[in-house]
Chain A
């Protein structure tokens, strides 16, 4: 029964991918709707499948194709995989519904058909990565996922920005696959099979096992966008169409998280320092991600950096899990792992919500620059409420889901008193302080994002003429927003239902109290206060009218933080002045500039890129296309082989 459902889902995904090919070359709306409907139905079924397996605790194992003994494509879904399938299904279903409205506004004839098909294939690939039973099929579908997402990122291939994003994404995603492949090969050498079975480490195999872990960790970290491997994220998310950014940011990064968890839980028995490594990378990404997000004024770029932050938080949870389980603190380990998993789900929901509503805003205004928006709360009231829900969820405000998962992490941190090693304890407290900084900054960041986009006066003609989007573009995000609220409010009940007994406050009670207090305030004021209201101009110090240019903008809003964290941003301020008299009194003109140095690009990627170019040019000189040289190479090679064989004999 459940196998049939799984096959039905696969068939529907394949249909969703194949249908647009029938209409290739034609710009047909019905085909696109049909394709997305297949994807949405398949995703919804996938979510149901995940939920059923998660609740019943049953497992599903299917072998599809066996090429050789040992090399096979087979699927296995346990609770961990079911949880991630639930995540993929929910987000993909909402995204597909949203896309039915969104693709019609995209440019480019039958490219739109391909986008619909590509989305189906992308979701399918991610599903199969999660469902993979062997490391071989894991790698196979991992590469399929990378390839399809690359094609989707390149949708607007004529833009210069997209080309740059494409190159970055291609290089990084292939590096990621390379590392994952190295890790899997190392595992194969250790165990002689592609099965995901626990690894028995003896002192002789320990270095290779560690190397395998490191390779896998870097592979997944690159895909997840952990700093300093985050560079592709910031280019690829803004450049791709919004439903694709939503899928990439909300789901694809989680597939990397799944990969790390799968290997950590099922194969390795981790050391303490692995946990510290993951924790340090995680917390660094969390802090730097939100700091970079804060200064960004491209709405999708801001969301992309904020994904780096949230992935950092998830990695922090995983790191804590490893540390606590090595220290033998079972309850704290459970709480941390639960925090990582729950935050993965929550981040998928609210980040998809934010990317989709941001897509609506970008569509309505025709720009991604938040400085050219403003005042959209009146033009797009429903979108503004949906974005607002996402903003409170991501800013970790109670009682929404973002808070619930961060609270779990806080509980784990606060109770880490029991950790024995004092040095470790100090590390944990430093991480706690940085984590607190992260969540405070993300609140500030989303105050900025929401207010610059939706509040005050429109700052451009496009924003002035903006209009509310169509129903499908509201329906998809609305489901996600509802999920954000439900997962937050009922968090405590969900944990109890899932069988986790942990000290967690009852957020349902808190939300009821919040509602009660708001109602009480309203009632008291209704009977005691004056009910007269009047609408009048904003007070502008006596000026007659206030042009939109005098408002506080995103740049102005972020200035204090940019100044306080100038050392992190590597801010460079420069100014030039010219004077119209000889004694420099009468100011004639000048320029002032604040430049934020892209630290990792300047100091890590460019030097690496230059080194690679240099290496390539050496190789290129050897490949000179002249027959004589090649004959020489062959000659040297033959001599070398003879000498080698002679020595070996």
Chain B
């Protein structure tokens, strides 16, 4: 069982690192199409990362040890979090891996380091990004926790592996609750990946500056790490949504054919979700920063509704 699980983890990490940049480019491509542009090639993010790795790393003269440590800490936290969400293969969890609260808090670790990184260089851009990121995350956190509590409620477990396992064996969309869950999870996905209407990942202009503002001072391999970890985080949240709501095709037995099929299934489902994200983003305008809590309240009420339905049903 343990070797099985280790293999599962290695598979997960490998797949998530390899696929994530693809989804980032796909969303960009979709947005470009809706705007009548051709857009970057679908493998552009891979080229960008390769190029960044070749460049020298520049540190600000004001930067302290935080700037040297934070990109690695971010990446390590996100990669560890990637072990918690089964992508293509689901097995018995081990040693608390897959615990949904631990997963969320690993994402918070990454965010904590990123926020410090933004402030370390002493630039006003980074500071503004960090300040907004922490504010948004503070306001979205109750919603996220309630959504995950609702998940735990519906699946009767705290473990993501068990949830996905239950979803696979139960088929899908048996109850309307899952639709409500899907909406809430989608809003969390949008917020956590800093997309319109919360933030615009394309620019670091003053108006939208949250995520991009924080990493403005990064360069070379550090920037590559930050970009890749953001991409992986996005894929993880997408995978959570996909594998709980439409869990078709996930491998439950360990065979090369099943894994390969599951990987292809996942890429297809992920691409469809990327298309939806792109279209959603294109159909919206950036919200004023202080209007955001309203959006979060929406997700909050959906998840509270789920819980109330579950409690009184």
Contact = CB atoms under 8 A, between A and B. Distances in A.
The answer on A and B forming one complex is yes
Interface of A: 374-375, 377-378, 381, 384-385, 392, 395-398, 403, 407, 410-411, 413-415, 417, 422, 425-426, 429, 432-437, 439-441, 443-444, 447-448, 450-451, 454-457, 492, 503-507, 509-510, 513-515, 517-518, 520-522, 525, 528-530, 532-540, 546, 548, 550-552, 556-561, 563-564
Nearest to B224: A529
B304 interface: yes
Given A436-B144, A456-B122, A514-B80, A410 B101 contact: yes
B72 interface: yes
Interface in B115-146: 115-116, 119-124, 126-128, 130-132, 134-135, 137-146
Contact of B138 (A398, A440, A522, A528): A440
18 contacts: A385-B65, A422-B312, A429-B146, A429-B304, A433-B145, A433-B300, A436-B144, A440-B108, A440-B141, A443-B112, A507-B96, A509-B96, A514-B77, A514-B80, A528-B53, A529-B53, A529-B224, A538-B121
A552 B311 contact: no
A434 B142 contact: yes
Nearest to A504: B96
Interface residues on B, range: 35 or more
B57 interface: yes
Which 9 pairs of residues, A with B, have the shortest CB-CB distance?
A552-B127, A505-B96, A456-B122, A440-B141, A377-B64, A436-B145, A532-B56, A444-B134, A518-B76
Contacts of A509: 95-97
Contacts of A513: 80, 83
Contact of B122 (A422, A426, A520, A551): A551
A535 B97 CA distance: 40
Contacts of A529: 53-54, 220-221, 224
B138 A422 contact: no
B138 A441 contact: yes
Interface in B57-110: 57-62, 64-66, 72-73, 75-77, 79-80, 83, 95-97, 99, 101-102, 105-106, 108-109
Most chain B CB within 10 A, of A377, A492, A548, is at: A377
Most chain B CB within 10 A, of A385, A451, A561, A564, is at: A451
B138 A451 contact: no
Contacts of B267: none
A556 to B, nearest CB: 7
B116 A447 contact: yes
B26 to A, nearest CB: 24
B76 A517 contact: yes
A447 B72 CA distance: 18
A632 B1 CA distance: 92
A398 B141 contact: no
A126 B308 CA distance: 46
Contact of B139 (A451, A535, A548, A564): A564
Contacts of A455: 64, 66, 116, 119-120, 122
Contacts of B106: 398, 510
Contacts of A454: 64
A552 B125 CA distance: 8
Contacts of B144: 436
Contact of A536 (B61, B73, B134, B138): B61
Contacts of B142: 433-434, 436-437, 440
B52 to A, nearest CB: 8
B143 to A, nearest CB: 8
A517 B80 contact: yes
Main SS of the interface on chain A? helix
Interface in B249-267: none
A443 B134 contact: yes
B82 to A, nearest CB: 9
Nearest to A508: B95
Given A378-B64, A517-B75, 12 more contacts: A374-B122, A381-B64, A395-B108, A398-B102, A437-B141, A447-B115, A451-B127, A520-B79, A536-B59, A550-B124, A556-B128, A564-B290
B149 interface: yes
A550 B62 CA distance: 13
A377 B65 contact: yes
A557 B131 contact: yes
B225 to A, nearest CB: 7
A433 B144 CA distance: 9
B146 A433 contact: yes
Contacts of A540: 123
B112 A395 contact: yes
B141 A557 contact: no
A540 B216 CA distance: 11
A550 B128 CA distance: 12
Contact of A521 (B72, B289, B304): B72
Given A447-B115, A450-B116, A425 B311 contact: yes
Given A447-B112, A517-B75, A505 B122 contact: no
B134 A546 contact: no
Contacts of B224: 529
Given A530-B54, A564-B293, A546 B64 contact: no
A623 B72 CA distance: 73
A377 B128 CA distance: 20
A456 B112 contact: no
A444 B135 contact: yes
Nearest to B216: A539
B97 to A, nearest CB: 7
A447 B119 contact: yes
B15 interface: no
Nearest to B111: A443
B131 to A, nearest CB: 4
Contact of A560 (B77, B132, B307): B132
A558 B128 CA distance: 10
B149 A413 contact: yes
B46 interface: no
B245 interface: no
B217 interface: yes
Contacts of A563: 290
A538 B97 contact: no
Nearest to A442: B138
A518 B109 contact: no
B177 interface: no
A550 B217 CA distance: 16
